[in-house]
Structure 1
């Protein structure tokens, strides 16, 4: 059984989509990042980077002790290997998939996240126009990378749906908030609509829909408290 430590963000939804697509049994373990659950001593033992998601496999393939994994890319590699699904193992396709999983972790996720962050920030922290322009343009570049890749293939690694598609899709759902127009990228748009129509993807996106709160409806002091938890974090110091 897989214990999924989760909150309904794009990174969390990568894992819930895989589990729903493959019919892998799992138990949901909510990690409310707006209330600081990711900083508890218990969670830090599982994920020292105090981020979400993470998993614990209580029944690993080797029959040994439970296995914990953090970082969404590593989790998808682990689950695909465990289930034998959505990661073809012939030499060329295997590394075609791997490079796009790592591309998402190193490029798409961080840059689209920054685009959304600075575009939401407004002028609360002073003039953000350069940061908004910088990351909106970088987001546009990355949508162009996907569009170019998908011009002559159905999915990112060829004709089969894989973890490369699963890891990339959730970050594109909020394309409007990232300042993009997907009509500019017709090959990407075709892929986006096809992946989004998959029942397993839809089920994965819906996981935990009842957990999150519309922060815009909270009192200003509550919003400020959540921002303090989520942003401008510094190192956790070791106890004396």
Structure 2
């Protein structure tokens, strides 16, 4: 979700940019190093999103090493809110450390859960498989400072083109919200989520893996939800303002602009 928006914004500014993934024209597969030289040819800056719960941290680190060897000077690495507290050998934390080791100008982005998870991301996929019911292992009162993917993408672009080397941004929305709050605001937009039901971790695990999600990915999400239940996802930071010079996009605007 974020990478596509980063690419769109760079092109809108008239800057040379190309996306690389398993499905893009410039193909990037973390498990296949054969085309990495082509991916990195002529590249001076990179935006890297470390896959969650896929045991690919060592592959991402290897790619970063190859990028440094190819002459890349600037790296923006996106993880998730709270990654700074993760073990040093966890996938996302290891990628952060590797980027800081290799590049002269590094910016780390750690966004909270995204509003767009309800319309095109993780939550949307779960709700579609349950006829509009979103089942998550959080309490009705659990608060999360959801952030708009457009703010995250804008922070990535500014980090690529501006003077943000050495910065670490924890990106949040302007207020903590419950999942139920967001569902009420986005119901009737292009979100497939119509209602929210709290479930325990084991039920979430069963539903998610039954939908085709991998065990490790689901376990990682359960860990993030558990952190949210403990109150660790409710913090509101000033980092969107620090990166962009403006306030983060609020839920009301997101809902209004997501209406069909």
Instruction: With the length of structure 1 as denominator, give the TM-score of the two structures.
Output: 0.30
Instruction: With the length of structure 2 as denominator, give the TM-score of the two structures.
Output: 0.28
Q: Which structure has more strand as a fraction of its residues?
A: 2
Bigger RCO (CA 8 Å, 6+ sep): 1
Q: Which structure has more helix as a fraction of its residues?
A: 1
